[in-house]
């Protein structure tokens, strides 16, 4: 058969391409481990809301699966900054606090863990 020799080279080319692909994937994995590009952190699930009713804004902690990691919840009125009003919320599900805010303003709620890692729980304008 004259055609049998032609098709034999196709499998050699495909195997070479597959070997190059495997080498590239392994090199990418090794590079990510060496250069410290790891998997993303797990999301921190803590639910806190701020709702407006007239001039009153009510802040409420609803809980979440990472509540045991939270050491402090701080609410900032007008954004995070030294001149803006802020207060702590209790770190327990159902904790509330009401503030009187007449104009629309930015509200930021920040959670802090025991090892001083902070993350934004809520950032919106009311």
Strand partners, 89: 73
Give CA–CA dist 118/71, Å, rounded: 10
Confidence check: pLDDT of 90 > 70: yes
**What is the distance between the alpha carbons of residues 18 and 37, in angstroms, rounded to a whole number?**
25
Percent of the chain at pLDDT > 70 equals: 87
Residues 39-64: tens digit of each pLDDT: 667 777 899 999 999 999 999 999 98
- What DSSP designation does 92 have? S
Q: What pTM does this model have? A: 0.66
β 106-113/118-125 pair status: antiparallel
Output the pLDDT for position 38.
64
Q: Can you give the residue ranges of every domain in the chain?
A: 1-39, 47-125
> Which whole number is the average pLDDT over 113-118?
87
Domain at 47-125, CATH class: mainly beta
């Amino acid at each position: 058969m004259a055609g049998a020799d032609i098709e034999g080279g196709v499998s050699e080319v495909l195997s070479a391409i597959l070997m190059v692909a495997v080498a590239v994937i392994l090199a990418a994995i090794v590079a990510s481990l060496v250069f410290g590009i790891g998997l993303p952190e797990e999301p921190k699930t803590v639910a806190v809301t701020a709702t407006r009713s007239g001039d009153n804004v009510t802040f409420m902690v609803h809980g979440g699966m990472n509540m045991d990691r939270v050491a402090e919840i701080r609410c900032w009125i007008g954004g995070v900054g030294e001149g803006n009003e802020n207060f702590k919320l209790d770190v327990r599900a159902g904790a509330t606090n009401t503030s009187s805010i007449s104009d629309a303003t930015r509200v930021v709620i920040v959670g802090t863990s025991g090892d001083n890692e902070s993350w934004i729980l809520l950032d919106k304008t009311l």
